[in-house]
């Protein structure tokens, strides 16, 4: 059977991607995120519209990656459960503007 040689993903080495890796690897963030996800297993946006859809992602309402934030402010936004919202994949893509919202 023939094999397909796929191109390797380009490794990101920018300061911004390194910052993301560092913050998302934070153990306290991972614990807080896991607890939030267990308490909110359904997509909160879909629930507002009367649909029951399993959440797949925890989204930050206010990004901890905004320029001109100190590391203390970044960690606060990253770990604060009041800054979280559980979303399904479609709603998470909409939140990031990757797909258009349906009317």
Note whether 36 and 84 are within 8 A (CB). Answer: yes
What are the residues facing 14 on neighbouring strands?
none
Closest by alpha carbon to 60, among 34, 89, 92, 30?
A: 92
Tokens of 67: 């320029």
Residue 16: which pLDDT band, with cuts at 50, 70 and 90? confident
Residue 69 CA neighbour count, 13 Å, CB half: 16
What are the residues facing 84 on neighbouring strands?
60
User: CA 7, 10, 12 angle in degrees (round to 5)?
Assistant: 165
Q: What is the pLDDT of residues 41-93, one digit of tens each?
A: 999 999 999 999 999 999 999 999 988 999 999 999 999 999 999 999 999 99
């Amino acid at each position: 059977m023939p094999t397909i040689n796929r191109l390797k993903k380009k490794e990101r080495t920018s300061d911004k991607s390194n910052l993301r890796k560092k913050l998302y690897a934070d153990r306290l963030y991972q614990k807080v995120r896991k607890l939030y996800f267990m308490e909110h297993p359904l997509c909160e946006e879909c629930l507002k519209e009367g649909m029951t859809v399993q959440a797949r992602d925890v989204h930050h309402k206010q990004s901890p990656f905004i320029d001109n934030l100190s590391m203390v402010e970044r960690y606060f936004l990253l770990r604060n459960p009041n800054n979280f919202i559980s979303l399904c994949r479609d709603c998470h893509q909409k939140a990031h503007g990757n797909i258009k919202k349906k009317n």
